[in-house]
């Protein structure tokens, strides 16, 4: 299916100050960074913050949501918004962190597995489909220690310094997907870390 049909963009993260600026909140971080949302007041509905937006860069209209429940319950917000706006999973783009991509890489694909991501698992379960598009922001797999502690941990100082460049590249990929300039799976290296 063509990317022209993206109508719902889901920015994943966990609510609360303790999760702010953590790796798992890569979706929230992109929503905070992207110029489409600058100065906008998010409304609350669907157990989420949401906006109806016309992209300044691509001219495409879409609905953006940031689920306000915990990551492993993201599907509640997504299924409610999709039902309300009559949006199929094939018309959704989910923006999330990915431990399978190294920090410094971003990717796009349609469908696929969940790679242990509980937010994606809940979205797939509640929508009955894995056929939604994903914009993946690499956070790397930890060299040692549990994955959960890594994803819920804050970016180290080197990552923090590089984050604006990564978010700018993710923002550009987001716009390319909306404008149909990217329709097939792709990974982009922003920098080697």
Residue 24 is among the residues annotated as catalytic for this protein = yes
Q: Alpha helix locations (H) across 86-152? A: 118-127, 147-151
Residue of 24, 34, 96, 117 marked catalytic: 24
Number of alpha carbons in the 13 Å side-chain half-sphere of residue 30: 31
- φ/ψ bin of 120: left (φ > 0), alpha (ψ from -120 to 50), beta (otherwise): alpha
Select from 95, 86, 77, 125 the least CA-distant residue to 7.
86
The DSSP element (H or E) to which 67 belongs, if any, is strand 61-67
* Alpha-carbon span 79 to 17, nearest angstrom: 26
Tokens matching residue 5: 């049909």
* Alpha-carbon span 170 to 27, nearest angstrom: 10
Active-site residues, by number, are 24
């Amino acid at each position: 299916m063509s990317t022209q049909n993206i109508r719902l963009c889901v920015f994943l993260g966990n609510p609360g100050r303790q999760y702010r600026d953590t790796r798992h909140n890569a979706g929230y971080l992109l929503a905070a960074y992207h110029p489409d949302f600058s100065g906008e007041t998010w409304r609350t509905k669907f157990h989420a913050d949401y906006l109806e937006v016309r992209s300044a860069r691509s001219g495409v209209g879409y609905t953006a949501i940031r689920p306000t429940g915990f990551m492993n319950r993201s599907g509640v917000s997504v299924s409610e918004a999709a039902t309300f706006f009559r949006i199929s999973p094939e018309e959704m783009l989910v923006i999330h962190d990915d431990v399978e991509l190294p920090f410094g890489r971003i990717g796009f694909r349609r469908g696929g597995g969940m790679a242990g991501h509980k937010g994606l698992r809940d979205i797939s379960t509640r929508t009955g489909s894995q056929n939604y598009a994903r914009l993946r922001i690499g956070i790397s797999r930890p060299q040692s220690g549990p994955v959960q502690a890594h994803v819920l941990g804050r970016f180290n100082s080197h990552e923090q310094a590089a984050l604006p460049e990564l978010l700018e590249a993710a923002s550009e990929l987001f716009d390319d997907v909306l404008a149909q300039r990217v329709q097939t799976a792709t990974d982009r290296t922003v920098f080697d870390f």
